[in-house]
Chain A
């Protein structure tokens, strides 16, 4: 018994430096943000800020008006559309990669992982200038060759939303494909053999064997991707809202909305309050997603 206790102590002892590091770079900033959100730290009270209680939250919730609700709805729509497309496309591509007699499999895999290896910022701006630009973009050059008039891809809400989704897919697919590909390979081949003997079609094999088998394996990655998609900022901001390069489309997710409403004000107390609110939304969201698999497991 004593030895066990000692062991536990030792374990914590060894883990202490990394725990300390995690505390410093993850937990501390969150707590500090919470603290700042209770102060009036801004340009006019930079060193001499006071604790002002929940005033910032009052302002934040007041500002998080219809616009915020709209942005929230947009974020949900954005997450759902992106996730559905991602899962379906990644599933199809991963299945194609697993066709038995496929040649050059590794070449395709390397090519498919490529967008993930590139810094997101670079990819996004390349898409913006290389594909969607109304003067030089590849899409408009094709349109002209085909005899259509040129299109301003990023200037209207619907088109801009589609373009953002495409770019997000380009950025996120490699990860999903890799995960699903790995999951597919972990399925015991004998299931398929017996299914074939029973005369199951490709569709039946997919629905009754593949999907149930990979679901548990890919679940954590899906949850992670849902989060990153939900708080996606770069794609939408860089494509449509970058200062000095706005395109006229008015699509906001909660992150870009919060940026335009708070972070540019240099009011750190107020911005922190908005960050904390978004943080709480994400936490609530993660609790909900964590509940679900457990229920299913129980059934």
Chain B
């Protein structure tokens, strides 16, 4: 008896190991089934699902939330059985996946002319080596936020020097005039871009020791001196949320949290940097749909139908209302329901100057290198030019070793 049990167990294990090796061709039902990976909040997905219900096309769309989407996609992107058909994510990984050869240009399915209504910089963000790989839905930028309890609407700084004056006056006794994740590249990029420097350009060349970048770092440093010595998300946002900091630069995702804790939060345009005349210009992240190559080849019809359903400007208006997403479609901003939304309009205004996050694969190594540069300058007090040269060298080495 025992032996039979054991043999049974062995068989189970072996079949378990071997299953998944079978093969089959696509049936009609499979052609009409679309799997989409995403990492978004439920409100966003609900709007997208609702829209598909209206079309009544018989296509079954399944959303799968993946917390580790980017890594999983690298592993299974080539395997039609394990990979999704599309994924909903920010545009900044397009370069990596396009180079890996797992993405299909969106123009294979939707003619380029039809992408006309989208804002230019969202399309620019979606373009890698001349091909458009993403159908934009909405975008995000950082915003200048202030706590009306401490900073009145009249006091909101229009320039960075005004901001500095405000910080000097109000940073005392455990209070801060202004806080941000000063040594985190995603946040500091706004200062560097606004000054005319760059972390990485579209050609994938790092610009950490460019004259303008170095000047920006020097200039930014005096602000950092009036901020806490921590750069992480939790500390900075808690300071603002608890009313210890009067203003901050943070993502729109912070607004629901601070409103919940009863803050009268205001959103304002980014202060202008005097030296360049440009406002602080943060990175813009465009969220949208990417189609995997394999799916584009095997089920183009179903994919086209789903994409077209979501190109409806109405979807983006609903997304804005459901989750404060700024529509990528220019025409939406003529509608009253969008132009009356303070947060969305502030993002639109910031987006005018925002720089699309570089989507080239080289960006993957820049986050760490730029982070080290920023902490060297801001927290360890090392010489700016020297640190920048070192970081530039490091970035170039790492980019070389990517190939």
A positions within 8 Å CB-CB of B: 14, 16-17, 20-21, 24, 42-44, 46-47, 59, 63, 129, 133-136, 152, 155-156, 242-248, 250, 260-262, 264-267, 270
Contact = CB atoms under 8 A, between A and B. Distances in A.
B13 interface: yes
Contact of B101 (A46, A242, A266): A46
Contact of A267 (B228, B235, B376, B401): B401
> Top 6 nearest A-B pairs by Cβ distance?
A248-B379, A245-B232, A46-B100, A248-B375, A246-B375, A265-B402
A247 B401 CA distance: 26
B82 interface: no
A157 to B, nearest CB: 9
Interface string B232-276: 111100110000000000000000000000000000000000000
B401 A270 contact: yes
Interface in B182-232: 183-184, 186, 228-232
A244 B178 CA distance: 19
Contacts of A262: 401
Contacts of B235: 129, 133, 135-136
B43 interface: no
Contacts of B393: none
Contacts of A250: 380
Contacts of B186: 244
Interface stretch (B111-119, B302-310, B338-346, B365-373): B365-373
A44 B365 contact: no
Contacts of B238: 135-136
Contact of A245 (B14, B101, B231): B231
B39 interface: no
B379 A155 contact: yes
Given A134-B229, A244-B184, A245-B230, 7 more contacts: A24-B17, A43-B99, A133-B230, A244-B181, A246-B372, A246-B374, A266-B402
Interface of B: 6, 9-10, 13-14, 17, 74, 78, 96, 99-102, 181, 183-184, 186, 228-235, 238-239, 361, 364-365, 367-368, 371-372, 374-376, 378-380, 397-398, 401-403
A134 B234 CA distance: 12
Contact of A135 (B230, B371, B374, B376): B230
Nearest to B242: A136
A143 to B, nearest CB: 14
Contacts of A152: 229, 379
Contacts of A129: 234-235
A43 B402 contact: yes
Contact of B365 (A136, A246, A247, A265): A265
Contact of A246 (B101, B231, B239, B364): B231
A247 B379 CA distance: 7
A244 B10 contact: no
Contacts of A21: 13
Contact of A47 (B74, B78, B228, B397): B78
15 contacts: A46-B99, A59-B401, A63-B397, A63-B401, A129-B235, A135-B230, A135-B239, A243-B371, A244-B233, A261-B398, A262-B401, A264-B365, A265-B364, A266-B74, A266-B96
A244 B99 CA distance: 26
Given A152-B229, A248-B376, A266-B364, A47 B101 contact: yes
A264 B398 CA distance: 9
Given A46-B99, A129-B234, A155-B379, A264 B368 contact: yes
B361 A43 contact: yes
Contacts of A246: 183-184, 231, 371-372, 374-375, 379
Contacts of B181: 244
A252 to B, nearest CB: 11
Secondary structure type dominating chain B contacts: helix
Among B9, B230, B372, B402, find the residue whose CB has the most chain A CB atoms closer than 10 A: B230
A152 B183 CA distance: 15
Contacts of B6: 14
Contacts of B397: 63
Contacts of A243: 367-368, 371
Contacts of A42: 402-403
B401 A155 contact: no
B398 A265 contact: yes
A250 B361 CA distance: 26
B156 to A, nearest CB: 25
A156 B378 CA distance: 13
Nearest to A245: B232
A264 B184 CA distance: 17
Contact of B402 (A46, A260, A267): A267
Contacts of B402: 42-44, 265-267
B401 A46 contact: no
A79 B367 CA distance: 29
Contacts of A135: 228, 230, 235, 238-239
A17 B10 contact: yes
A247 B403 CA distance: 30
Contacts of B231: 244-247
Contact of A247 (B96, B102, B375): B375
A242 B365 CA distance: 14
B371 A248 contact: no
Given A17-B10, A246-B372, A248-B379, A155 B100 contact: no
Contacts of A47: 78, 100-101
Contacts of B9: 17
Nearest to A40: B403
Nearest to A125: B234
Nearest to B232: A245
B382 to A, nearest CB: 9
A17 B375 CA distance: 51
Nearest to B374: A246
